[in-house]
Structure 1
Amino acid sequence: MAAAQLPRRPDPARVKRIAGDSDALAAAHALAAVFATGAAERDRQRILPWAELDLWSESGLGAITVPGQYGGADVSFATLAEVFVILCAADPALGQIPQNHFGVLGVLREIGTPAQKARLYGEVLTGHRLGNAGPERRSAAASTVLQGTTRLRATEDGLRLDGKRFYSTGALFAHRVPARATDDAGRAVQVWVPRDAEGLTVIDDWSSFGQRTTASGTVTFENVPVDPQDVLPIWQLADRPGLFGPTSQLIQAAIDQGIAEAAVADALAFVRERARPWIDSGLERATDDPYIIADVGRLQIELHAAREVLLEAGHTLDAVAAAPIDAEASARASVAVAEAKVLTTRIALEASEKLFELAGSASTRAVHHLDRHWRNARTHTLHDPVRWKLHLLGNYHLNHVLPTRHSWN
């Protein structure tokens, strides 16, 4: 496939400044109303959301976690989660695209220098989007997502970056593409590469059956020149308690919650408007079927429970962030988001499958395009295995083993 087009740079004069949490939620609702229109068709034809992401940039939502001292709204973690639920209920693929934007901003907050923060936060405040060059494909040198062959080398001509990455959600549409690499000392670093850097290529080869328009494909770096000021020492995070991992996981859980809410909403609408009662029920309307009613009640309980635990996890992160963060506090944050991730994973999968059982065979017709909910849920919930969340929780509560620190905890 050919290299992708470069994103349009936003006009700073059109980028709004969000003042606080209520403004952020209002902006999310306004965008969601736009995103919901055409979401099914974008999925059906794999139409990439370039125009919608320009609206995202202009909304100011990209800067809601920028600290106040740098000009941002610095909203609560609970609000950040709620923003992703709102957007992903409208279009979970489009809503997922900014996930790494906020993930790398969390890394910048924890280990960036004041000069790096001032410069990079400044770009975000003017609407610039951040992507991510994700893990490498499995190989002998990359048996886990934290390993790989991407290298940052010191040369006579300065720093140079080489490597090939995949699962690069947001990179196609980004103005910077942060990437994990190993430096000459064998340490993990994060390199914030400008999207138009010579030697950087983003290839739109994402072909998953779900989350089809995230464009989470391949990024290659070939002797890319790197400014030393664009390098963050993420190797330090392994020994420093923080919230970069829990923040990333909170967003992942919020995406699944949004998928679940959309699936339940479409199930209710279809049962009300199109479903027929079963022939042996003696009923005139499917909405009077006692079995359907009971299933809807159970789905609503599970949906509500997952959302409340998700927001509770956000509040836990807020409380941890308000005080000096030690190993125990960082662990509590990881545990809280793991609990949320278990519940949001389960309700996303259950709701998107139960939809068809409640709505009946007519709901499987291609014209309704309701299969996108299950495809999106099944694809996104594979981001990190929920079985390991259960292990994390059990090991913490039973043996008080603190979770390891990385973006998946």
Structure 2
Amino acid sequence: MSTYQNISKTLDVPNHAFAKAHIIKTDAEALEIAQKLSQQFKQNAILRDAERILPFEEIETFSQSGLWAITVPKQYGGAEVSSHTVAKVIALFSGVDGSIGQIPQNHFYALEVLRNTGTARQKQKFYQEVLDGARFGNALAEFKTKTAAQKHTQISQTEHGYVVNGEKFYCTGSLFAHRIPTLVRDAQDREYLAFISADAQGLQRINDWSGFGQKTTGSGTVKFNQVFVEAEDVIRFDVAFTEPTLVGPFAQIMHAAIETGIARAAFEETIERIKKARAWIDANVERADQDPLTIYELGRVAADVRASEALLKQAAQSIDQAKPHPTVENIAKASIDVAKVRAHSTETALKASSKLIELAGSRGSQRADGLDRYWRNARVHTLHDASRWKYYFIGNYVLNSILPPRRGTL
């Protein structure tokens, strides 16, 4: 059994010191590194999925490459790459391993909240940590509340700072993190993001994620028992949505990128499998790649994958156009453009990953090939938000000019 395979137990998680990470300077450099590194991670992707081997070494290499700092603003020493570059990086890694592609999503999300609501001093501190190689996880959602909107994890002020008590689930990336940005509420129901050290006393990370897809994201439980956090490590969270910011659409475009990456990879895998598959008996052809109905089905997937990629680019451009001077109107447009790709990529990832197995034929069901991981990863990830509600908000916007809600789940 792998050293890292340890289901439903508290882990002795390796917390790597902040060895100086490479600092990426441009969008082109980010994409070049992502292309090379994603192909490296492809080598053992089937094994990691099959045996649920948590990718500690891969994530360390990932963050040390500088890719986890590409959204740090230029004034703080980062590359501040475009939203499209961020999306393309996430899509590349999601194509080779859906779990690895999702792990940095909440890291970038926390940095976007910081950009909008943090003080200059907080930005200087946390951006520098990330440039040095630090990874942020997340502890946002809760599993035991009646509705997803309810949050029971509390923050209380003390003489020297704050203490946090509560329990979180779906904590993607927390097992690999140096800090865990945690969504908390105070006695007045104000929401904050507390950047808590992963090795803080009273903090417990539990490796109990048991989803049938995205198996190695580390999306389990984090518990807080009188966990102390410095006052300077706590930033406002709720104002990121009550005021016009890009936190919501930026969060959602990364989810769309995960699904678009899975769809693209499944499609490309389908091409290779068709070339090896036997032709259907009624097709009266020698090879599967000559079967007209197989060609037809592949063509439909090709169109859908390309459409998702085009929508992804359009949404990213809307975000970047709104970034210099965000308003209610341009953020609404960005949110709707992101909703379009998110709804489309949900359907495309599920379709492409299902057609992969169908068009590969009976050989596509063999466990050794791991073709089912594309569909399992897509199906689990697409449960994050319901595409039916995205279509509703899109329709209400174009028909009735009703602006979509500002939150991270649109």
TM range (shorter): over 0.9
Aligned partners of 1:6 and 1:195 also within 8 Å: no
Aligned partners of 2:145 and 2:152 also within 8 Å: no
**Aligned partners of 1:158 and 1:315: how far apart in 2?**
40
**Aligned partners of 1:346 and 1:9: how far apart in 2?**
38
Superposed displacement of residue 10, structure 1: 4.6
Deviations 1:202-221 (A, max 9, x none): 10000000000001000001
Aligned partners of 1:10 and 1:126 also within 8 Å: no
1:82 to 73, 88, 96: 88
**Aligned partners of 2:409 and 2:280: how far apart in 1?**
45
1:228 equivalent to 2:231? Answer: yes
Aligned to 1:358: 359
Other structure's SS at 2:238 match = helix
Deviations 1:335-374 (A, max 9, x none): 0100010111111000111112211112112221111111
**Aligned partners of 2:335 and 2:283: how far apart in 1?**
48
Other structure's SS at 1:147 match = coil
Aligned to 1:252: 255
Aligned to 1:371: 372
Which amino acid in structure 1 is aligned with residue 12 of structure 2? Answer: Q
TM-score of the pair, normalised by structure 2 = 0.96
Aligned to 1:340: 341
1:210 equivalent to 2:231? Answer: no
1:301 to 280, 288, 303: 303
Aligned partners of 2:18 and 2:134 also within 8 Å: no
1:181 equivalent to 2:184? Answer: yes
1:103 equivalent to 2:109? Answer: yes
Aligned partners of 2:70 and 2:80 also within 8 Å: yes
Other structure's SS at 2:337 match = helix
**Aligned partners of 2:62 and 2:346: how far apart in 1?**
26
Aligned to 1:312: 314
Is there any run of 5+ residues in structure 2 with no aligned partner, and where?
1-7
**Aligned partners of 2:337 and 2:193: how far apart in 1?**
26
1:162 to 126, 148, 165: 165
Which amino acid in structure 2 is aligned with residue 378 of structure 1? Answer: R
Which amino acid in structure 1 is aligned with residue 202 of structure 2? Answer: G
Which amino acid in structure 1 is aligned with residue 13 of structure 2? Answer: L
1:94 equivalent to 2:100? Answer: yes
Aligned to 1:195: 198
**Aligned partners of 2:55 and 2:38: how far apart in 1?**
13
Which amino acid in structure 1 is aligned with residue 266 of structure 2? Answer: A
Which amino acid in structure 2 is aligned with residue 66 of structure 1? Answer: V
**Aligned partners of 2:336 and 2:270: how far apart in 1?**
32
TM-score of the pair, normalised by structure 1 = 0.96
1:32 to 11, 22, 38: 38
Which amino acid in structure 1 is aligned with residue 75 of structure 2? Answer: Q
Is there any run of 5+ residues in structure 1 with no aligned partner, and where?
none
Which amino acid in structure 1 is aligned with residue 192 of structure 2? Answer: V
Aligned partners of 1:7 and 1:174 also within 8 Å: no
1:67 equivalent to 2:67? Answer: no
**Aligned partners of 2:214 and 2:402: how far apart in 1?**
34
Other structure's SS at 2:48 match = helix
Other structure's SS at 1:241 match = coil
1:329 equivalent to 2:330? Answer: yes
**Aligned partners of 2:382 and 2:285: how far apart in 1?**
38
Which amino acid in structure 1 is aligned with residue 139 of structure 2? Answer: A
Aligned partners of 1:88 and 1:255 also within 8 Å: yes
Which amino acid in structure 2 is aligned with residue 105 of structure 1? Answer: L
Deviations 1:136-195 (A, max 9, x none): 11434xx12x32110001235641100100000011100000011101222011111011
**Aligned partners of 1:346 and 1:225: how far apart in 2?**
43
Which amino acid in structure 2 is aligned with residue 363 of structure 1? Answer: G
Aligned to 2:282: 280
Superposed displacement of residue 3, structure 1: 2.2
The number of aligned residues is 403
Aligned partners of 2:206 and 2:222 also within 8 Å: yes
**Aligned partners of 2:14 and 2:406: how far apart in 1?**
33
**Aligned partners of 1:133 and 1:87: how far apart in 2?**
23
**Aligned partners of 2:254 and 2:391: how far apart in 1?**
18
Which amino acid in structure 2 is aligned with residue 347 of structure 1? Answer: T
Superposed displacement of residue 266, structure 1: 1.4
Aligned to 1:243: 246
Deviations 1:212-261 (A, max 9, x none): 00010000010001101111111222321010110110000000011111
Aligned to 1:119: 125
